[in-house]
Structure 1
Amino acid sequence: MLRLFSSGSYLFESLSNPPFIKALQAFTHATYSTICLAQPKAEKEDPAEKPNNATEVLSKWGCSNDDLMRIYTRCPALRNADATKIQSKLDLLSVMGIGTSDLVKIVNCRPRFFQSRINQSFNERIAYLLSLFETNDLLNKAIVRNPSLLMCDDRHNIEAIFSLYEELGVNKRDLIQMIVLRPTILSRTSFDDEKMEYISRIGLSRDSKMHKYVVTLIGVSRVETISEKVANLQRFGLSEDEVFCLLGKSPHILTLSTNKVQRNMTFILATMKLDAKAILKCPFLLCVNMDTVLKPRVLLAMKVHEIDGEQQIKRPPILRVLRMTEEKFVNSFIKCHEKQVANELMEFYRGTKKVKRLAASSKKSVCTGFPF
């Protein structure tokens, strides 16, 4: 107890000693300075430079009012999103060379794009994708068509898909072109025995220009969907072998809905009075738009035949007629007549375009998942 008291008396006496106080102050100041120098100085943020909301960030990035309207229409929740996170993603897109028009397409394709975590391992992912696509332009086109590539981390799966298509006769260069055309190839490709049978029955050699289209379309399609579309064409009198021959000539028919094929085939058979096998020579008849091209132009041809039998559109050039631009078609088949006849034909032509399908306004669109 006495020892403790004596220590306390010594401390009290030391604190009352001016030289000791000066030494203690010097030590405290030196220690504080050392700690402050060891810590990094926080940069003061300028409140004027900090973005306030998503609209301000997107506007400064270059989005016009029309672009903002399209983006917010597709993703209304983006108005209240964190402006800092939006800015960080826009900075990454700027480095890649993606502009405002591409951003609108990306958000239209993936409305929740700004909620995704593309910042994680971004440089490594882009470096790997660039090694596959070889050029920045092709990579940007693929990303705009399928923004999910920016979030794809499964490199082994991508390499396996490239190897699979190479075994089926689609080389790397052709596959990259197909990925730009069909962006979901990397995520939806699957092959089984039935699909391999479909590819063999179409009968295209690996050197054929259509081979890559057939293989990639069948690779991303469902077996049930392919069977349904083949059966739909068989209902109009084509054999199964003829249908597969048709798919070899125009693989794009696999992407058409059964409803569109039914409408076009019904018009071809009932109104144009052509045989069902006419589409084997002219597959474009199934792909052309019914309401704006096929029906108005064919009906106008019939009208011209009623007025002047020598000006009828014959069957051989029908494909060329349907592929004409609107201006060229009007000049070739309407304005070539006298003014009175030309006005009558123009009024009839415009009237055929205004005719709407029965109950089209009340038709419900049923989403069945992936279109083909």
Structure 2
Amino acid sequence: MGLTRKSAQSISKRMCFETTERPDSVLRLLREHGFTNSQISKIVEGRPQVLLAQPEKTLLPKFEFLRSIGVSRSGLSIIFNRNPVLLSRSIERYLIPLHEILKSVLVSDEKVVKALKRMGRILCLYCFPKNLSLLRGLGVSQSSISYLVAQSPSLMFQKVGKFAERVNKKMEFYRRLGLSEDEIRSIFRKHPNCMCLSEKKVMATMDFLVCKMGWQPAAVVRIPNVLCYSLERRIKPRCSVVRVLLLKGLIKADVYLSSVLRPSEKLFLERL
């Protein structure tokens, strides 16, 4: 069938084929649509039953549907490699509703395609509206929700209880940092991706900005997207520049956090 020995051995332990005609036709279709051997091996190791699919009847229509919304040939392999279970899902009952759900928030097919390429396993397709309602109940704006869906699409498809638990745990974590309820809600409203950050990452960033640099927690709350910036590659290098300028008396001590961290690298350097 053209698989690696490891893949063939893994599949042979779980499945038995009378002939290789069907598996060969599946593999041929995947290769014709740009899937590499390593991608195919990963897919069939995780979902060996795909080798029993009727390629022209069940696989090809999925490829054609995704191509119709703008997925490129290389994009197909990325999407199914990240989420091989989609190969066994119904177009009418799954792929089309998935597309409609994403488009209802992201608006354009171009953004939907980008989200699909980022998406991992989808646990609960119809949990999305309930999770969406939870965020709206917190006052998260439509633009912020769109950003969250675009950047972390799988998050919104978690089971409702798990999603709510994640939100509540993050809110409790921010309370332990000494933030008020209004400040926490402000963070989630402005940048809901902050609920995806690890506690270690947030604590390290807050410790540096508040304890080392002297900014108030409220300053961070006003622009919470700074919590997503790399501490080592963006925050510390820029703050080192600020420290030097402060020591030389070239800037005032009350420099705004936003003016240091938010500008692009080019704009930051131009302002020095």
Paired letter, 1:127: P
Shift in CA distance, 106/189, structure 1 to aligned 2, threshold 3 Å: farther
CA positional deviation for 1:122: 2.7
The structural deviation recorded for 1:111 is 8.4
The reply to whether residue 240 of structure 1 matches residue 181 of structure 2 is yes
Per-residue CA shift, 1:37-78, capped at 9, x if unaligned? xxxxxxxxxxxxx97x837xxxxxxxxxxxxxxxxxxxxx33
Structure 1: how far apart are the matches of 2:233 and 2:44?
31
TM-score normalised over the length of structure 2: 0.68
1:150 to 60, 78, 87: 87
The match for 1:98 among 35, 41, 47 is 35
Instruction: Name structure 1 gaps, 5 residues minimum.
Output: 1-49, 56-76, 334-372
Alignment partners' CA distance in 2, 1:319 and 1:133: 39
Rg larger for:
1
* Counterpart in the other structure of 1:290: 231
Q: Are 2:4 and 1:54 aligned?
A: yes
Mapped pair 1:253 → 2:194: yes
Distance 1:184 1:318 in 2: 37
| Deviation string, structure 1 residues 65-105 (Cα, Å, up to 9, x no partner) | xxxxxxxxxxxx338568979976653322112346xx459
Q: Report how far residue 267 of structure 1 moved.
A: 1.6
- 2: distance between equivalents of 1:132 and 1:87? 23
- Per the TM alignment, residue 310 of structure 1 is displaced from its structure 2 partner at its CA by 2.0
Identify, as 1 or 2, the structure richer in helix: 2
Distance in 2, matches of 1:125 and 1:89, equals 8
Percent identity over the alignment is 19
**Does residue 125 of the first structure (1) align with residue 27 of the second (2)?**
no
Q: CA deviation at 1:224?
A: 0.9
Does 2:133 match 1:200?
no
Q: Which has the higher contact order (CA 8 A, sep 6+)?
A: 2
Per-residue CA deviation, residues 279-321 of structure 1 (Å, 9 max, x unaligned), is: 2333232112223432344245425544x33278943531256
Structure 2: stretches of 5+ with no match in the other structure: 13-19
The residue that corresponds to 2:15 in the other structure is none
Tell me the distance in 1 between the aligned counterparts of 2:212 and 2:177: 15
In structure 2, what is the Cα distance between the partners aligned to 1:305 and 1:232? 33
Aligned residue number for residue 264 of structure 1? 205
Secondary structure in 1 matching 2:206: helix
- Structure 1: how far apart are the matches of 2:59 and 2:28? 16
TM-superposed deviation, 1:258 = 1.9
The residue number in structure 1 matching 2:250 is: 310
CA spacing shift, 1:147–1:82, aligned 2, 3 Å: closer
Distance in 2 (CA, whole Å) between partners of 1:136 and 1:79 is 30
Which amino acid counterpart does residue 54 of structure 1 have in structure 2? T
Aligned residues: 249
TM-score, with length taken from structure 1? 0.52
Deviates more, 1:270-279 or 1:121-130: 121-130
Alignment of 1:1-372 (within 5 A): 54=4, 77-78=6-7, 90-99=27-36, 103=38, 107=42, 112-113=45-46, 115-123=48-56, 124-132=58-66, 134=68, 135-137=70-72, 138-153=75-90, 155-161=92-98, 171=107, 173=109, 175-185=112-122, 190-191=127-128, 196-205=133-142, 208=143, 210-214=144-148, 216=153, 217-220=155-158, 222-299=163-240, 301-303=242-244, 305-306=246-247, 308-310=248-250, 314-315=255-256, 316-320=258-262, 323-324=264-265
The one-letter amino acid paired with 2:4 is: A
